[in-house]
């Protein structure tokens, strides 16, 4: 497998604060690679170090097999970046903005015109091409921001939380677009603290905290290491104490809580928890109004590893 | 790519109507308001220069001092007689080109004439010159004092030079050219500097405000360019970070982005120059030299802004305050708000006057208007060019870093 980005023993400090702590990383060609972590975990700093925007104390960064430096223009030619904050000109229209940023990479006017039209269609901003950014909604502005970063069809794309404060419709459009970019051959590095986006998008992901990568793998691989199993919730009235004790004694049940007509059962990992509970209720003819099961999430894994939530804003 | 960046930077500049208003209309409105405020002075005859009535006391003067001073009087003044009924001193001949009307009297008579306001001042001739004037700080008398002081100072300079050369020749330290005495005398008689300085005082008192105003407007682009570095440095805006990641050197991008600003402000300052001309404010006939000076001043203002913007690590608010405040302060020290300030700074803090780019443009325009030779103009152009080079070098130093400690 061809490696598009290789980071070795990277260290970045802000005075006494270690922002990136001896970090190693490899990103493979053609994958969507997710960097998941809470705010302040070092995701954006890592991206900026990879892009040589930031100076770092120690380590090596290679892109396309070559050392990445501020003046490595032949490498920059094939990189696209979509920042967290929209980086567009308020005075220029949607079309002009995309044409301007595309023109920093593509000098041939005819080629550029084609690329700009393609990306406008890709982000579905056709009817807004003459609008200025201030006239666009938050979601449309994010799509414009995305278009400006990818119009030149880069081989490697860095997307730094591109869906923050975006409406669900625009968010879905952006996520579908990112998958399409991957399918067309681009390698994508995607940073976010939205775990559901990572689960939906990423072929592989790393969970970061305090400048370190805690774990890397596919979403399923990471969830599989969780020490907790699924969570089963049952809405039922007047559950007797004897039933609670019997349920707790089941081999698949880790722990349970009952209150306000809701029974919450934490199951042991790799057990058929939901089935056991259903069988018990049926066998004892206990009425229930609702039952649901939730598999462990990346957040649960993160919580287990670090003791804190992935999304500190929820 | 240079052309592409310049094209879109121009487009962004033109489409940014709020900034365009500030850029284009503020200077034009300022010039118009300035003109309306000054037009009364320009058209009035209060700046018509009348020769200054002076009593000359020669009682204690040595023969050589007396001879020298009489030569001086021949070239700058006409003799006069006190008017009847204690009236002012009247010229005995046509005083058209004269700076002073003088009468030679003893000290008591001089004091009497002064007390009765028949003369402006009394000058006692000796090894050192003494000038006594009444109400010299009175605003109407201030200019007479200034002119008379300039004349006497120039006289003293020339006399001292001649005296020193004479002494050195006598001791054999130098062997002067046989025609040297004549040449010095000629220089004294037709002392261009003297004539120019005083012609300036007569006609340039109002124009100096406009010279300083034009000087200020050439440096005014600093208020725009002090923030333009935010478009170049990746640590100052997300847009700059995106552009920084493009495969194009930062310094080339900087010049591509600054070019439309240079063109815009150069055109603007040329428009303002001709606009003032249309309003009737004449700056003399040397239009070509004036436009070169304005362009040089504009470039200096632009690159001073980029130098401050790239080297100073303050917030955009502080940078904007500097960009607006510095040119205003420079304009103030150049006499834009009060012509006396220019003289005061020039006399008491000459170094500040020499390094103030608004003052340099002001002095350049002044010299083109008043002086018959271009020596002073070229001296100012060279000084301003040095200033411009320093501003460009400082900008490049500020922009030289290739990556950042933090974003």
Complex confidence, ipTM: 0.80
Same domain, B34 and B61: no
Find, among A296, A239, A283, A241, the residue nearest to A262 by Cα: A239
Q: Is A15 in CB contact (< 8 Å) with chain B? A: no
Could you tell me the pLDDT band of residue B141, with boundaries at 50, 70 and 90? low
* pLDDT for A239: 84
* 3-class secondary-structure state, position A249: coil
**Would you say residue B30 lies in a domain?**
yes
* Bridge partners, A54 (sequence order): B404
**CB within 8 Å: A100 and B239:** no
How close does chain A come to B7, measured CA to CA in Å?
9
Residues in chain A within 8 Å Cβ distance of B254: none
**CB within 8 Å: A81 and B242:** yes
B84 vs A272 pLDDT, higher one: B84
State which of B138, B158, B190 marks the end of a domain.
Answer: B190
The tens digit of pLDDT for each residue in B341-389 reads 888 888 888 888 888 999 999 999 988 887 778 888 999 999 999 999 9
Write out the residues of chain B at the interface with chain A, using a CB-CB cutoff of 8 A.
1, 4-5, 8, 11-13, 15-16, 234, 237-239, 241-249, 402-407
**CB within 8 Å: A104 and B406:** no
Q: What is the mean pLDDT of chain B?
A: 82
C-alpha B334/C-alpha B208 separation (Å) is 9
Residues in chain B within 8 Å Cβ distance of A40: none
Find, among A284, A283, A274, the residue nearest to A234 by Cα: A274
Same domain, B11 and B57: no
- With 80 as the cut, is the pLDDT of residue B89 above it? yes
**CB within 8 Å: A81 and B234:** no
Structural domain boundaries of chain A?
A: 3-224, 231-295
C-alpha B177/C-alpha B114 separation (Å) is 44
Same domain, B300 and B157: no
Domain CATH number, residue B164: 3.40.1710
Count structural domains, chain B: 2
Question: If you search the block for the tokens 């046509």, which residue do you land on?
Answer: B94
Same domain, B332 and B385: yes
Check the CA dihedral A37-A24-A72-A184 and report its sign: negative
* 3-class secondary-structure state, position A77: coil
Q: Are B298 and B364 a contacting pair, CB within 8 Å? A: no
Q: Which of A71, A73, A92 sits opposite B12 (nearest CB)?
A: A92
- Structural domain of B292: 2-44+202-399
What is the pLDDT averaged over residues B287-300? 94
Same domain, B214 and B163: no
Q: What order do you get walking across the sheet with A3-14 strand by strand?
A: A17-28, A3-14, A58-63, A66-67
Question: If you search the block for the tokens 């006069």, which residue do you land on?
Answer: B80
What is the pLDDT averaged over residues B321-350? 85
- With 70 as the cut, is the pLDDT of residue B63 above it? yes
Q: Is A41 in CB contact (< 8 Å) with chain B? A: no
Same domain, B39 and B131: no
**Would you say residue B328 lies in a domain?**
yes
* 3-class secondary-structure state, position B214: helix
What is the pLDDT averaged over residues A37-44? 85
Q: Can you list the pairs that B74-79 forms with residues at least 24 positions away whose Cβ atoms lie under 8 Å?
A: B75/B188, B75/B189, B75/B190, B76/B100, B76/B151, B76/B194, B77/B51, B77/B101, B77/B102, B78/B51, B78/B102, B79/B103, B79/B104
Nearest 5 degrees, angle CA B251-CA B270-CA B281?
145
Q: What is the mean pLDDT of chain A?
A: 89
Query: Which residues 216-245 of A have a C-beta within 8 angstroms of B?
Result: none
Same domain, B238 and B288: yes
Same domain, B147 and B59: yes
What is the pLDDT averaged over residues B139-158? 73
Q: How many CB atoms lie within 10 A of CB A268?
A: 16
A75 vs A166 pLDDT, higher one: A75
Same domain, B59 and B186: yes
CATH 3.40.1110.10 fits A231-295, yes or no: no
**Would you say residue B405 lies in a domain?**
no
What phi and psi values does residue B337 have, to the nearest 5 degrees?
-95, -30
Q: Candidates 3.40.50.300, 3.40.830.10, 3.40.1710.10, 3.40.50.1860; correct CATH number of A3-224? A: 3.40.50.300
Find, among B398, B75, B64, the residue nearest to B235 by Cα: B398
**Would you say residue B342 lies in a domain?**
yes
State which of B168, B190, B212 marks the end of a domain.
Answer: B190
Same domain, B236 and B384: yes
State which of B190, B214, B235 marks the end of a domain.
Answer: B190
Could you tell me the pLDDT band of residue B182, with boundaries at 50, 70 and 90? low
Q: Are B19 and B224 a contacting pair, CB within 8 Å? A: yes
Same domain, B269 and B343: yes
Same domain, B233 and B359: yes
């Amino acid at each position: 497998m061809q490696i598009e980005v290789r980071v070795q023993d990277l260290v970045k400090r802000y005075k006494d604060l270690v922002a990136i702590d001896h970090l190693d990383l490899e990103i493979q060609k053609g994958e969507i690679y997710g960097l998941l972590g809470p705010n302040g975990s070092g995701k954006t700093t890592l991206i900026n170090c990879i892009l040589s925007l930031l100076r770092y104390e120690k380590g090596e960064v290679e892109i396309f097999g070559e050392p990445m430096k501020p003046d490595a223009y032949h490498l920059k030619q094939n990189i696209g970046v979509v920042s967290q904050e929209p980086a567009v000109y308020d005075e220029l229209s949607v079309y002009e903005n995309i044409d301007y940023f595309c023109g920093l990479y593509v000098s041939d006017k005819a080629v550029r015109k084609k690329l700009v039209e393609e990306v406008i269609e890709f982000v579905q901003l056709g009817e807004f091409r003459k609008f200025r950014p201030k006239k666009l909604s938050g979601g449309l502005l994010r799509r414009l921001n995305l278009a400006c970063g990818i119009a030149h069809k880069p081989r490697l794309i860095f997307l730094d939380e591109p869906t923050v404060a975006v409406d669900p419709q625009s968010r879905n459009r952006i996520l579908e677009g990112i998958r399409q970019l991957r399918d067309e051959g681009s390698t994508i590095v995607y940073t976010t603290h939205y775990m559901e986006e990572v689960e939906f998008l990423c072929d592989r992901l790393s969970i970061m905290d305090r400048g370190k990568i805690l774990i890397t793998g596919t979403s399923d691989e990471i969830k599989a290491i969780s020490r907790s199993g699924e969570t089963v919730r049952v809405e039922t009235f007047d559950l007797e104490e004897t039933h609670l004790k019997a349920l707790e004694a089941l081999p698949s049940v880790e722990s349970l809580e009952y209150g306000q007509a809701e029974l919450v059962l934490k199951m042991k990992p790799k057990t058929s928890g939901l089935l056991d509970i259903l069988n018990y209720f049926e066998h004892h003819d206990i009425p229930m109004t609702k039952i649901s099961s939730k598999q462990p999430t990346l957040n649960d894994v993160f919580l287990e590893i670090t003791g804190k939530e992935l999304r500190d804003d929820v | 790519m240079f052309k592409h960046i310049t094209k879109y930077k121009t487009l962004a500049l033109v489409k940014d109507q709020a900034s365009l208003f500030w850029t284009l209309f503020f200077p034009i409105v300022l010039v118009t308001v300035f003109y309306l405020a000054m037009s009364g002075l320009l058209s009035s005859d209060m700046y018509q220069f009348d020769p200054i009535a002076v009593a000359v006391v020669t009682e204690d003067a040595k023969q050589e001092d007396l001879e020298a001073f009489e030569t001086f009087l021949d070239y700058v003044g006409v003799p006069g007689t006190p008017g009847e009924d204690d009236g002012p001193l009247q010229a005995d001949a046509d005083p058209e080109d004269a700076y002073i009307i003088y009468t030679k009297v003893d000290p008591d008579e001089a004091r009497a004439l002064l007390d009765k306001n028949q003369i402006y001042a009394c000058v006692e001739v000796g090894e050192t010159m003494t000038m006594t004037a009444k109400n010299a700080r009175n605003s109407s008398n201030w200019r007479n004092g200034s002119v008379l002081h300039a004349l006497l100072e120039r006289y003293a300079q020339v006399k001292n030079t001649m005296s020193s050369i004479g002494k050195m020749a006598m001791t054999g330290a130098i062997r002067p050219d046989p025609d040297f005495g004549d040449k010095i005398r000629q220089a004294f008689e037709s002392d261009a500097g003297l004539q120019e300085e005083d012609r300036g005082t007569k006609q340039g008192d109002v124009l100096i405000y406009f010279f300083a105003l034009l000087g200020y407007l050439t440096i005014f682009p600093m208020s725009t360019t002090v923030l333009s570095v935010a478009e170049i440095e990746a640590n100052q805006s997300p847009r700059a970070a995106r552009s920084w990641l493009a495969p194009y050197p930062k310094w080339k991008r900087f010049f591509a982005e600054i070019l439309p600003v240079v063109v815009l402000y150069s055109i603007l300052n040329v428009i303002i120059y001709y606009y003032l001309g249309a309003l009737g404010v004449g700056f003399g006939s040397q239009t070509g030299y004036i436009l070169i000076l304005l362009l040089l001043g504009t470039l200096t203002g632009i690159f001073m802004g980029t130098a401050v913007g790239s080297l100073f690590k303050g917030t955009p608010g502080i940078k904007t305050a500097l960009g607006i405040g510095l040119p205003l302060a420079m304009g103030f020290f150049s006499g834009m708000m009060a012509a006396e300030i220019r003289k005061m700074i020039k006399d008491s803090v000459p170094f500040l006057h020499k390094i103030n780019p608004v003052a340099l443009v002001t002095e350049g325009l002044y010299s083109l208007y008043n002086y018959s030779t271009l020596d002073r103009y070229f001296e100012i152009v060279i000084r301003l060019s040095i200033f411009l080079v320093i501003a460009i070098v400082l900008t490049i130093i500020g922009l030289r870093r290739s990556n950042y400690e933090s974003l």
